[in-house]
Amino acid sequence: MRHPRIRSFQQIEHGLDPTRPVVTLFSGGLDSSYLLLRLRQLGVTDVHAVTVDLGEDESSAYKREVADALGAKLHVLDRKQEFAESFVAPAISAQAVYLGIHPVSSTLSRPLIARAAVQLADSLGAQAIIHTANRSQNTLRRLNGALELLGYPELYGSPYDLDPVDRDEKHRALLAAGVDLLNGRLVSGDSNLWCREFESGILDDPENHAVPEEMYRWSAPDPSALPTAVTVSFEKGRPTAVDGSPLPLVDMIALLNRQVGAYGLGRYSGLEHLDHGEKVLEIREMPAAMLLLDSYRHLEAACLDAELIREKRHLEQIWVREALEGRWFGELRVAAQQFIDSCAQRTTGSVTWRLRAGGAETRSIVAPAPLYLRDRERWEERAIAAESAAYTAPQPVLV
């Protein structure tokens, strides 16, 4: 029988064996640091704080300093390549955009983080995987959903689900323990190689959410950036090259984040729903995502029949919904992916863009087996000639 899910600090206090290993998901922020402190106070002696490196902002050195101070062993797991190839690439072919508003990001990272945590927990014989998502974060259902579908048999969940702790209280407790976290954060953030996201704090109110310009890094405009052209190429639905130079997807995303972001492109804002329908504001910058997703859609239009694209667009939102709700490893998301992959097998070619301050326009769409016309008048002449020949051809005599 499956163990009950962790939803409060009381469950941790009464449900853990202090001598057995515990795995926590550790970002180096206030919530995950406070969890390490509470575990230490409860006498749990074998705590393993895992951070999955997907290209985030926070340095591993800073995380190690905090984990060491709180008596936990830090595990830094580099999963950037796996994230790009097994999660971001499928999201590109699936056109994974939340209700047409913004590309998804943590939707992609959470299942990989959960899988990495399960692998570590299995190797350690851990009694629990504890994360720190709260009820106003979609991460709660994405991590719990992934851990459930992965079949993790021990305790898992977040104590903040039913047992929130005041931010100031967490700060005071950590300071009293000699841990002074990075101060001056005005918002909560989540970052990986695909996206930088900000929410909460000064961005809590959708009716008033002016983002300080200094928060943007990838999309900070470069006044010296002159209009330029950039070409992205795809092979069977996978991004393969920029300006004719083959690149691994991790390197391609980093390059395009810089190159496209220099023109102030790739910023998104939007409301995303919580578990019971309420909505929260999220701000993100994703220059590479903007260009790669738009390029894929143009190239897909060049390669696929219109009716096929219409059906695919319907399945794209099923794919997004299933991933968004924490069912990345579920049957329906996987089935939708199979249809999308079959379409991707025919999506090959390149798209050239002209980048300028504040905007981008296509200059060339090239496919080796296209459905587009390059000379409409000549096509009309041929079509009319073929139809006329068929109309005037002698008809068989019926006896």
230 and 173 within one domain: no
Of 99, 103, 102, which is closest to residue 87 (Cα–Cα)? Answer: 103
Tell which residue, 169, 148, 151, has the closest CA to residue 160.
169
211-221 pLDDT, tens digit per residue, is: 889 999 999 99
Kindly tell me if the per-residue pLDDT of 2 is higher than 60. no
- Are 174 and 255 found together in one domain? no
Q: What percentage of the chain has pLDDT greater than the value 70?
A: 95
Quick check: is 52 in a domain?
yes
Q: Is the pLDDT of residue 398 over 70?
A: no
Q: Which residue has better confidence, 288 or 191?
A: 288
- For residue 262, the number of C-alpha atoms closer than 13 Å in the C-beta half-sphere is 15
Quick check: is 33 in a domain?
yes
d(CA 134, CA 158) in angstroms, rounded, equals: 7
pLDDT tens digits, one per residue of 133-171: 998 888 999 999 999 999 999 999 999 999 999 989 999
- CATH number reported for the structural domain that contains residue 162 in this entry: 3.40.50.620
CATH number of the CATH domain containing 277: 3.90.1260.10
The residue among 246 and 3 whose pLDDT is bigger is 246
Q: How confident is the model at residue 185 (pLDDT cuts 50, 70, 90)?
A: low
pLDDT of residue 386: 86
Length of the chain: 399
Task: Give the count of beta carbons closer than 10 Å to the beta carbon of residue 125.
Answer: 10
CA distance 79 to 96: 21
Least reliable range by pLDDT among 127-131, 275-279, 293-297, 311-315: 275-279
Instruction: Determine the Cα–Cα distance for residues 372 and 366; give it in Å rounded to an integer.
Output: 10
Same domain, 55 and 27: yes
- Distance (Å) of CA 103 to CA 133, 142, 268, 337: 21, 16, 8, 17
Both 266 and 172 in one domain: the answer is no
Tell me whether residue 377 is in a domain: no
Is residue 266 over pLDDT 70?
Answer: yes
Which segment of 16-25, 206-215, 248-257 scores lowest on mean pLDDT? 206-215
- CB of 55 closer than 8 Å to CB of 192: yes
Greater model confidence, 398 or 78: 78
Number of structural domains, the chain?
2
Check whether residue 156 and residue 109 sit in a common domain.
yes
Distance CA 291, CA 112 (A): 24
Question: What residues make up the domain containing 40?
Answer: 9-189
Check residue 301 and give its pLDDT.
98
Do 77 and 206 belong to one domain?
Answer: no
Q: Check residue 3 and give its pLDDT.
A: 64
Kindly state whether residues 169 and 302 are assigned to the same domain: no
* Residue 252 counted as domain residue: yes
> What crossing angle do the helices spanning 30-41 and 60-69 adopt, rounded to 10°?
30
Tokens representing 338 are 């199979």
**98 has which bridge partners?**
102
- Assigned domain for 380 exists: no
Last residue of a domain, one of 156, 189, 222: 189
Domain's final residue, options 189, 214, 245: 189
Same domain (yes/no): 202, 290: yes
Q: 207 pLDDT band (50/70/90 cuts)?
A: very high
Long-range pairs for 306-309: beta carbons < 8 A, 24 or more residues apart = 308/343
Q: Looking at the structure, tell me whether residues 44 and 143 fall in a common domain.
A: yes
Q: Which residues pair with 160 in a beta bridge?
A: none
Note the pLDDT of residue 1.
45
The tokens of 354 are what? 């002209």
Cβ-contact 339, 345 below 8 angstroms: no
Rounded to whole angstroms, how far apart are CA atoms 284 and 57?
Answer: 14
Half-sphere exposure of 19 (CA within 13 A, CB side): 0
* Count of alpha carbons within 13 angstroms of residue 235, beta-carbon side: 8
Q: Are residues 202 and 182 in the same domain?
A: no
Tokens at 315, concatenated: 């399945």
pLDDT of residue 190: 84
Asked whether the beta carbons of 158 and 133 are under 8 A apart, the reply is yes
Per-residue pLDDT at 184 exceeds 80: no
DSSP secondary structure string for all residues of 151-188: T--SEEE-TTTT----HHHHHHHHHHTT--------SE
Mean pLDDT of the region 246-266: 98
Alpha helices, H only, the chain: 9-15, 30-41, 60-69, 80-83, 89-93, 106-124, 139-149, 167-176, 249-261, 287-303, 306-324, 331-344, 376-392
pLDDT range class, residue 82, cuts 50, 70, 90: very high
Residue-wise pLDDT for 345-356, tens only, equals: 999 999 999 999
What's the pLDDT at 345?
Answer: 97
Q: Is residue 294 part of a domain?
A: yes
Final residue in a domain of this structure, among 134, 158, 189: 189
Q: Which residue has the higher pLDDT, 183 or 165?
A: 165
Q: How far is CA 326 from the centre of its chain?
A: 12
Residue 219 located in a structural domain: yes
Q: What is the pLDDT of residues 364-397, one digit of tens each?
A: 999 999 999 999 999 999 989 888 887 776 666 6
Q: Specify whether the CB–CB gap between 87 and 111 falls below 8 A.
A: yes
Share the mean pLDDT of the chain: 93
pLDDT at 397: 64
Q: Say which DSSP state 221 is in.
A: -
The β-bridge partners of 355 are 228, 360
Question: What is the rounded CA–CA span in Å between residue 272 and residue 325?
Answer: 12
Is 399's pLDDT higher than 70? no
Whether 264 and 162 map to the same domain: the answer is no
The pLDDT of residue 59? 72
- 162 and 27 part of one domain: yes
Whether 121 is in a domain gets the answer: yes
